Amino acid sequence: MTAISSASGQSAAGQVRPVVPPVPRPDINRKRLARMGWGFSAPALVVIAAVTIFPIVYSVIMSLNNVTVTGSGFSLDGFTFSNYNLLVHASLWRDALFFTVYYTVVTVIVELVLGTCIALVLERLVAGRGYMMALLLLPWSMITVINAELWAYIYNGTYGVADAILSALGLGHPVILGTPTPAIIGLMIADIWKTTPFVAIIVLAGLVMLPGDVYEAAEMDGASGWYTFWRITLPLLRPTIALAVMFRVLQAFGLFDLPYVMTGGGPGTSTQSLAILAFNALFKNLSFGPGAAVATSTAVLVLLGCLASLRVFRVQVGQEGN
Amino acid sequence: MRNRKRVGWHRYINGVIISTVVTVLFILIPLYWLIASSLKAPLSVGNSPPSYGPTPFSFANYKNAFVGYDFGIYFRNSIIVTLATTALVLILGTLAGYALGRLPMRGKFTTLVVLLIISVFPAVAVLAPLYLLMRDIGWLNSYQGLILPYTAFNLPFAIWILRNYMLGIPKEMEETGRIDGAGALRTVWTIILPQALPGLFTAGIFCFTACWTEFLMALTFNNSNNFRTIPVGIADFGGNFQVPYGTIFAASVVATVPIGILVFIFRKFVVSGLTSGAVKG
């Protein structure tokens, strides 16, 4: 039915005008396709904008206002910079920032070194590499809250297995989660257990993709294993490692689950991350202004980190051969 | 060749094997402790010094998690939120990934970079406004109150992954569809989608894992007993004085089994997701 009518329409058009090319002009086609593209992306982009971009903007507005909590909600009472003033002068924010940065730097370095070692070993593993990969993915896929509860139990002062082992070794009964430095180390160990395997997989994938002929040349020149590692493997791995580090660092700025469940930010405020500080300010003390300021400061730090590593992003986009 | 042939006993005892065993133990010992503790009798979980095997052996903790506590409800909530989010992310992500990968749109590059930045943004930055919004529209303690933010936070990564797979599909296949007169949506459904199936697996398993493990938003938005997901439920098992570790670990084992099986089945796709350039924790 449609075929017949369109055919007759075409012959009618042919009588009036000379032959026109049946395909629409490419740039019109392009425009149509572009419109279709935005139509296809619109639902996803709208959802993302609604839940991320607008709230972030609102967070910034909130942090720049005197927020009063009322019975039915809250009201914004005029522009002020006092929330940020409070932030800069409060030792709480500085301590949280210091803890977050310190924790991030130490865990990322340890995870990177250990992860690279594991990857180098697994690369030489002939059989069962697939099963090893699956095993490495297990800690990655575990719920962080479970990880936190498990290690809190291990560190427990009365019935924890760490206490039993340490006292059997003649090291006495250190209070692990109740003293600042051991608590921080305890958190780091839990984090390292969960995330090192993940780093190992990324590095391993990078290793497998390295060109083999470089190594053959190095071996012909009589290069030692160490020399080959430092002068060939590591430089070639740098893009992989840089990307992994960047994402780990940015992600670590949102650090919340592990210390919140394991130590509650304590003892005192020694393991209070920026996210915990913001959460407590917002939902425990209901101080929305300062809370929003802490949250915004976290977001700004992440954004600065992103901008600083935009070159890595660009490399990544470029690699896909746009 | 980097891998030299090993002869004699070196084939069985060498640095590689020993290091591998150390790695395996490093991962498995804490997991063993989790499982062993969950299988002890509830009171002997608090023994000092602890017994190193699951003795006295008992399933009481498992029973307690479902009967004494409402772990069954939390499990159901996690399943509903996770599956709904994953489905939404895959549908919206496929459409957007196709468009951003294959259609000639201006501003594509900027959109993709913004998406990448959003995918590493800390959730705490949007927590307060979202909480107030959800309170005003009555979405606190509801499934959609988690599904919507989870969808938004997992979409950027899914779009990236799917776009990367879409880029690899030869143009001729798509044109075949267009010449046959198939509409745009049908082209995506019948021609693009089967080709992008590995990408769907990768995006799906990442989204599933992220939803299954998410804690901060679940804690903030869904804190009533009927809408808690597993992470919030497990974190709240503890009373004021006594932490019921036996019950917590039994629930933890039950919560880890499904995700463990999924990751094992889809391990190839997880690894490809981790290494296709878009790295996410």
> What pLDDT is recorded for position A1?
36
Say which of A51, A202, A248 has its CB closest to residue B152: A51
Tokens of A298: 């976290």
Q: Which residues of A touch B105 (CB under 8 A)?
A: 34, 37-38, 41
Q: Which residues of A touch B249 (CB under 8 A)?
A: 149-150, 153
State yes or no: pLDDT of A321 exceeds 70: no
Beta bridge partners of A75: A68
**CA-based nearest distance A198→chain B, Å:** 8
Q: What is the mean pLDDT of chain A?
A: 82
Sign of the Cα pseudo-torsion (B20, B23, B25, B28, in order): negative
Structural domain boundaries enclosing A166? 91-319
| The total number of structural domains that make up chain A | 1
Say which of A34, A292, A316 has its CB closest to residue B128: A292
State yes or no: pLDDT of A319 exceeds 50: no
Distances from the Cα of A169 to the Cα of A166, A173, A189, A284, B49, angstroms: 5, 10, 19, 42, 14
> What pLDDT is recorded for position A259?
95
> What pLDDT is recorded for position A17?
54
CB atoms within 10 A of CB B167: 15
Interface contacts A/B by beta carbons within 8 Å: 309
> What pLDDT is recorded for position A266?
79
Query: Looking at the complex, does the CB of residue B47 fall below 8 Å from at least one CB of chain A?
Result: yes
With CA atoms as reference, the chain A residue closest to B36 would be A150
Tell whether A155 is covered by a domain.
yes
| Inter-residue contact A197 to A119 (CB < 8 Å) | no
Give CA–CA dist B184/B178, Å, rounded. 8
Give CA–CA dist A77/A74, Å, rounded. 9
Contact A161 B50 (CB under 8 A): yes
With CA atoms as reference, the chain A residue closest to B253 would be A146
Smallest CA-to-CA distance from A33 within B175, B132, B259 is with B175
| Inter-residue contact B64 to B247 (CB < 8 Å) | yes
Tell whether A27 is covered by a domain.
no
Q: Which residues of A touch B148 (CB under 8 A)?
A: 47, 50-51
State yes or no: pLDDT of A26 exceeds 50: yes
Phi, psi at B40, each rounded to 5°: -85, 165
- Find which of A156, A159, A165, A304 to mutate to test the B interface (most B CBs within 10 Å of its CB): A159
Stretch among A286-295, A302-311, B221-230 having the lowest mean pLDDT = A302-311
The residues, ordered by sequence, that sit 6+ positions from B60 with a Cβ below 8 Å of its Cβ are B41, B42, B246
CB atoms within 10 A of CB A130: 12
With CA atoms as reference, the chain A residue closest to B247 would be A149
Tell whether A193 is covered by a domain.
yes
Q: Which residues of B touch A117 (CB under 8 A)?
A: 19
> What pLDDT is recorded for position A7?
40
Give CA–CA dist A167/B254, Å, rounded. 32
Residue ranges of B 189-218 with Cβ closer than 8 A to chain A: 209, 212-213, 215-216
Stretch among A119-128, A198-207, A302-311 having the lowest mean pLDDT = A302-311
Q: What are the tens digits of pLDDT across the range A227-272?
A: 888 888 888 888 788 877 887 888 888 899 999 999 988 788 899 9
Give CA–CA dist A247/B122, Å, rounded. 12
User: How would residue A151 be classed by pLDDT, with cut points 50, 70 and 90?
Assistant: very high
- Highest mean predicted confidence (pLDDT) among A125-134, A142-151, A199-208: A142-151
> What pLDDT is recorded for position B89?
97
Q: Between residues B77 and A81, which one has the greater pLDDT?
A: B77
Tell whether A191 is covered by a domain.
yes
Give CA–CA dist B34/B241, Å, rounded. 21
Q: What is the DSSP secondary structure assignment for residue B50, as one 8-state letter?
A: P
Match 């745009």 to its residue by tokens. B184
CB atoms within 10 A of CB B170: 9
For residue A127, what is the domain's CATH number?
Answer: 1.10.3720.10
> What pLDDT is recorded for position A242?
81
> What pLDDT is recorded for position A154?
93
Peptide bond into A239 cis (omega under 30): no
The residues, ordered by sequence, that sit 6+ positions from B200 with a Cβ below 8 Å of its Cβ are B90, B94, B162, B193
Give CA–CA dist A100/A106, Å, rounded. 10
| Inter-residue contact A263 to A30 (CB < 8 Å) | no
Q: Which residues of B touch A50 (CB under 8 A)?
A: 148, 152
**CA-based nearest distance A231→chain B, Å:** 15
Cα distance between the two ends of chain B: 33
Q: Which residues of A touch B37 (CB under 8 A)?
A: 153
Domains recognised in chain B with CATH numbers: 8-62 (no CATH), 69-275 (1.10.3720.10)
Q: What are the tens digits of pLDDT across the range A115-126?
A: 999 999 888 887
Contact B252 A54 (CB under 8 A): no
Within 13 A of A124's CA, how many CA atoms are on the CB side? 19
| Inter-residue contact A197 to A136 (CB < 8 Å) | yes
Contact B274 A201 (CB under 8 A): yes
Query: SS3 for A113?
Result: helix
> What pLDDT is recorded for position B51?
82
pLDDT along chain B (281 residues), means of 10: 58 79 92 93 82 86 90 96 97 93 86 84 87 90 95 93 85 74 77 86 93 95 93 83 86 95 90 63 37
State yes or no: pLDDT of A138 exceeds 50: yes
Say which of A133, A144, A256 has its CB closest to residue B271: A133
Buried-exposed string A243-253: b where 16+ CB fall within 10 A, e elsewhere: bbbbbbbbbbb
Say which of B33, B212, B275 has its CB closest to residue A202: B275
> What pLDDT is recorded for position B33?
94
Is pTM beyond 0.80? Reply is yes
Tell whether A147 is covered by a domain.
yes
Q: Between residues A217 and B71, which one has the greater pLDDT?
A: B71
- Find which of B32, B103, B124 to mutate to test the A interface (most A CBs within 10 Å of its CB): B124
Smallest CA-to-CA distance from B74 within B190, B236, B270 is with B236
Supply the ipTM of this predicted assembly.
0.89
**CA-based nearest distance B54→chain A, Å:** 14
Tell whether A37 is covered by a domain.
no
Tell whether A1 is covered by a domain.
no
Q: Which residues of A touch B275 (CB under 8 A)?
A: 201-202, 205-206
Q: Which residues of A touch B261 (CB under 8 A)?
A: none
| Inter-residue contact B144 to B85 (CB < 8 Å) | no
